[in-house]
Structure 1
Amino acid sequence: MTHRLPDFDTANATDEQKAVLQNILSGPRGNLNGPFLGWIHSPELADHAQRLGAFCRYKTGLSLRLSELAILVTASRWQSQGEWFIHYPIALDAGVPKAVADAVQRGERPTFDSADDALIYEFATELYETRRVSDKTFDAAVKGFGHVVVINLVGLLGYYALVAMTLNTFGMRAEGQTTLPFPE
């Protein structure tokens, strides 16, 4: 995993850690790939974060394609090796065009065929670059997705920034990752 965290051995896990691991494995993810084996050292944080993550990934009201595009924008902004490695193939499978994903990885503004894709990209990019969202972009997002989904989109962006920070801080890579999508 990483030299910045102690090795985690499920045989020596506390009851709280075992409960969190079981919740993650029995949930929609079904695996521990990502920040979970880092967070497990703080089982209370791990439990709250994994439940928030399940909501942000599967229940925001956005299509999987739009959620995955927002996650790719986040991974690129944070240059999160593991996050990109995990979500890039999921995004492509969900319908994010390869040319769009590759431009996001390079830090370039993609050319979009979908107005919804462009809006998600613009919203996330504005929020990351300016720490705000313009009235024009906000109004377009509310018109296109509704207030609740826009609130959920902000939550999704915040959650995946937490994931990126965790993976970057502790030098964590995705399971099976042998290449890095971003320079170090």
Structure 2
Amino acid sequence: MLFSLRFVLAGALAHPLSLPRSQTPPTPGAPKRFPQITLEQIAPEGQQLAQDIIKLSSVGLAGPYNVMFRSPVYADRLNKLLDYLRFNTSLPTRLNEFAIIIQGNEWKSQIEWFAHYPLALKAGLLQQIADDVKKGVRPANMKPDEEVVYDVSMALIRTHNVPDELFNRAKAILGEQQLVDLVAVSGTYVGVAMLLALGQEMPPEGKPLPFPAN
């Protein structure tokens, strides 16, 4: 069986278009990979962190937090980083949420899109722009700073590089700190998407999946 699994993975990696393109829910009837953690199960030293998360998170201790708390020190460090990136970053909220949904769409991350699509619209991102991202097309009618966020994000996703012309344009429009914070939030939410994929975490029961399940 191990040989056959390696064979399947090797074939999928050789033909990346055959790989699943959306994070898939658990098999019906299968146990949850990480049973949902409750406040009562969290050690005393983690109680304050858990309560802070509950106050701010649209999914409570579910989603990435359910996976994060399997490594309590990591959960604490990551939450501090998320606190900066969500609420204290130099980027305007509109651009910050735009960067997050770009990564959410790239990873077809059900919870990232479910949670951050409405936050992006609330922050002032045009719905047409967010919907174009989900369609996989370059959005029309973007402001110059939105164009920079999109172009830098997509350059790093597609080529793992930022060409000189794009770097100079991005630096001129955003400045150094905002440009660094853009990359920081983008990379962090790739990590969050990985945690969600690892745990097969999905939106609350009864809510439709933003991306069709494979």
User: Which of the residues 187, 195, 198 maps onto 1:169?
Assistant: 198
2:18 is aligned to none
Deviation (angstroms), 1:13: 1.8
Moved more, 148-157 or 13-22: 13-22
1:143 is aligned to 172
Runs of 4+ more than 4 Å apart: 28-31
- Is 2:203–2:209's contact at 8 Å kept on the other side of the alignment? no
1:101 is aligned to 130
Q: How many residues align?
A: 183
- Is 1:17–1:43's contact at 8 Å kept on the other side of the alignment? yes
Counterparts of 1:21-100 in structure 2, within 5 Å, are 21-25=50-54, 31-32=60-61, 34-100=63-129
Tell me the distance in 1 between the aligned counterparts of 2:104 and 2:41.
Answer: 32
Tell me the distance in 2 between the aligned counterparts of 1:25 and 1:7.
Answer: 14
1:26-71, Cα deviation, whole Å (9 max, x unpaired)? 6x65854541122111111110111101111122211111111101
User: Which of the residues 116, 124, 146 maps onto 2:153?
Assistant: 124
Amino-acid identity (%): 33
Q: Aligned-residue CA RMSD in angstroms?
A: 2.0
Deviation (angstroms), 1:183: 2.5
* AA matched with 1:143: A
Q: TM-score, normalised by structure 2?
A: 0.78
Q: TM-score, normalised by structure 1?
A: 0.90
1:89-130, Cα deviation, whole Å (9 max, x unpaired)? 111111111111011011111112411111101111111111
Larger CA Rg, structure 1 vs 2: 2
Structure 1 unaligned blocks of 5 or more: none
Tell me the SS of whatever aligns to 1:73.
helix
